[in-house]
Structure 1
Amino acid sequence: MDNGTATAYLDRIGATAPAAPDAAGLAVLQERHLRSVPFENLSIHLGEPIVLAEDALVEKVVGRRRGGFCYELNGAFGALLRHLGYDVSLLAARVHGGGALGPPYDHLALRVDLPEGPWITDVGFGRFAARPFRLDVRDDQPDPAGTVRVVDAGHGDVDALLAGEPQYRLDLRPRELDEFVATCWYHRTSPDSPFTQAVTCSLPTPTGRVTVTDRTLITTEDGRRNEREISTGDELLACYRDLFGIVLDRVPVLSGPRPEVRRPAQAAVASPGD
């Protein structure tokens, strides 16, 4: 990433470069990213390729002003953090849901090593921690989204919990971006993937969250949830444009069957309750 691209990325999320790569600056960058770049799986339902290469991911977020899911969002954010001087590693995680764990490389999270210790920063898991949290701390860590806790899970892995509920299990060995290609392909093609089972676009707001799932608009303000059906394709495109800053020339078409029970993985963070 060059300086011009980094400046455009920071403009995209409404942030400035920290004076030094520290924890306070990392927290601001994560919060601004979460508020600016939607968690969305529209590419899957538009038939667009998902290319796990840093330049392509940054171009999607910055040049095309789109969002993405974990591999895309954390892949791009990791590139920005490295350019800003942070020591970043990619970690693979398995998502908890339905009493079971997802496959290896189910999720991509970022480890950032700072002088005081390692942190996890994550802008690609939908409704999750709003700020980075310490990887080496086993006490409760307060967060605007709820209490975060890291628990040893055996074999060197750890579970990340939010409000007492396990979210994902992290393998602490550093990975390369191309190691996530196979599971990314599974998530964008398999009828068993939560990402093929609903069209989702979601952003936190200062008072809650706004989500479009298929043709349902869900808004949460101060804990009060409202939903309404979007009646036309033109109205749906207007919602993507006005609520998320995403300009499309056609409506995403659901690419997979709707299951009776959806695994509460990343795509489900934008389902009822947001």
Structure 2
Amino acid sequence: MHTDFDIDAYLDRIGAERPKRPDYEALCHLQERHLMTVPFETLSFAEREIPNMTDEFVYDKIVRRRRGGGCGELNAGFALLLRSLGFRVGALGGRVLHNGHAPFRGVHNGHVLLRVELERSYLVDVGFRWASRRPLRLTERGVQKDEHGEYRLVHTPEGDVEMFHDGVLRWRVEPHPRDLDDFETVMWYFATSPDVHSAGQLWASVVTETGRVSLFNRVLTHHGAGGKESRVLATDDEFKAEFEKWFGIALSSVPDLPESTHGI
């Protein structure tokens, strides 16, 4: 663990209370607070910076710099917090199978999520735009309802687990634990390869009390009970203002982004 790791500083960053014990109720509280305060954002990838998932890096980025990050950084940071509070947690490698618009084949180990062991096994994810608000019961075969929709875990004949959200297959994951450094090559690939599906693009998302606010390049989308509403942030000043308002990050400049007309 990071020698300078401050549990209270991390809890303050996400506006969470220190749990009395590492139980299911505490896990639900911490997951919800993380999703509502630390955004999923690929600014580093858009700027061709190579992130990593070490304790030192994710703590500095999330807590000290008050940034968000990609799935690997956010779930690595959350795992660091959970372990420090006494939870048994491991990282799992997955493959994203839907990009918000259509099915596609993401790279292996292109998604990182967590497996937490309590009275049963749970899947926890604070780094995915369509993540559940609460932990998903790994062995549950039926629908698990959540503020973010209906989730269903399907166990494949090969031993993998597939997650369906509102009927859409979002990802497939291998249930055995991995070391975080297993994902270093994938992080480098995402940040440097022009062949990556999202190369040079910016994605961001954060959970709100009524739903979710997402960004895809210059298109800002509000998701709520009444559906979704999207608009293009045409000027740099408007983009920087909205990015800071919703994702808590002040930009000195706006990355050179592809033109987009649809939100996520």
TM-score by length of structure 2 reads 0.90
Contact conserved, 2:52 with 2:187, CA < 8 A, in 1? no
Q: Distance in 1 between matches of 2:222 and 2:168?
A: 23
Give 1:100 deviation, angstroms: 5.2
Q: Distance in 2 between matches of 1:229 and 1:101?
A: 28
Contact conserved, 1:208 with 1:223, CA < 8 A, in 2? no
Opposite residue 78 of structure 2, the aligned amino acid is F
Pick from 108, 114, 132 the counterpart of residue 110 of structure 1: 114
5 Å matches for 1:44-193?
44-97=45-98, 99=103, 101-114=105-118, 116-193=119-196
Aligned to 2:205: 202
Aligned to 1:266: none
Give 1:45 deviation, angstroms: 2.1
Q: Distance in 1 between matches of 2:72 and 2:256?
A: 22
Opposite residue 53 of structure 1, the aligned amino acid is T
Give 1:258 deviation, angstroms: 7.2
CA displacement 1:217-274 (0-9 Å, x = unmatched):
22233223222222322221121222211122222223xx779xxxxxxxxxxx63x5
Q: Could you tell me which runs of 5 or more consecutive residues in structure 2 were left unpaired when the two chains were aligned.
A: none
Q: Secondary structure at the match of 1:194?
A: coil
Give 1:183 deviation, angstroms: 1.3
TM-score by length of structure 1 reads 0.87
Q: Distance in 2 between matches of 1:143 and 1:2?
A: 37
Q: Distance in 2 between matches of 1:75 and 1:230?
A: 31
Opposite residue 131 of structure 1, the aligned amino acid is R
Q: Could you tell me which runs of 5 or more consecutive residues in structure 1 were left unpaired when the two chains were aligned.
A: 260-270
Opposite residue 25 of structure 1, the aligned amino acid is A
Q: Secondary structure at the match of 1:8?
A: helix
Query: Which of 92-101 and 144-153 deviates more?
Result: 92-101
Q: Distance in 2 between matches of 1:111 and 1:198?
A: 29
Tell me how large the CA RMSD over aligned residues is.
2.0
Give 1:131 deviation, angstroms: 0.8
The structure-2 alpha-carbon separation of the partners of 1:4 and 1:198, relative to structure 1 and needing over 3 Å to count, comes to closer
Aligned to 1:249: 252
Q: Secondary structure at the match of 1:184?
A: helix
Give 1:192 deviation, angstroms: 3.2
Q: Distance in 2 between matches of 1:85 and 1:170?
A: 25
Query: Which of 184-193 and 68-77 deviates more?
Result: 184-193
5 Å matches for 1:194-233?
194-233=197-236
Contact conserved, 1:197 with 1:258, CA < 8 A, in 2? no
5 Å matches for 1:253-268?
253-254=256-257
Q: Distance in 1 between matches of 2:50 and 2:95?
A: 23
Aligned to 2:34: 33
Query: Which of 89-98 and 218-227 deviates more?
Result: 218-227
Aligned to 2:9: 8
Give 1:38 deviation, angstroms: 0.7
Contact conserved, 2:46 with 2:200, CA < 8 A, in 1? no
Q: Distance in 2 between matches of 1:48 and 1:106?
A: 17
Give 1:4 deviation, angstroms: 5.8
Percent identity between the two aligned chains:
41
